[in-house]
A = this chain, B = another copy of it.
Amino acid sequence: MRIGQLAQLVGVETQTIRFYEQQGLLPPPDRQDNGYRVYTEKHGEGLAFIRRCRILGLSLAEIHELQSYQDDPHQPCTAVNALLDDHISHVRSQITALQALEKQLVSLRASCNDDREVEACGILAGISEGNMHQQ
């Protein structure tokens, strides 16, 4: 299987596959005589794993960590679970921060209607005066 086929199979661009290889997330495949990469089914599984992790918002570093656990299958999986717990709390704190931000933005938006000049814009005034609620 060449790189283009693998890319289409998993739904990724070819450059992304080379990038993962370069980052050490995908093992370097064999090459044909002409230098073309040749992939096996295992590479497909590895790449799909990476992509599903990315969809879950895991960083490449976190994925690398998960892969290192997979290489040691008889260890307890405590670290895997902890990694996910950490990630969940990251996501939750992002949500909290964005919700606070939304509140600020909505209240700022309420300080202006559409019938003013820039000079009198309640939004610009609100930002300039710095009367923003601290989070």
Contacts and interface: CB of A to CB of B under 8 A. Distances in A.
The 6 closest A-B pairs by CB, nearest first: A77-B121, A73-B119, A77-B118, A95-B98, A73-B118, A88-B105
A91 interface: yes
B124 A66 contact: yes
A49 B128 contact: yes
Copies per complex of this chain: 2
Interface residues of A, number: 53
B56 A112 contact: no
Interface string A43-83: 00100110011011100000000100110111111101100
A75 B118 CA distance: 6
A40 interface: no
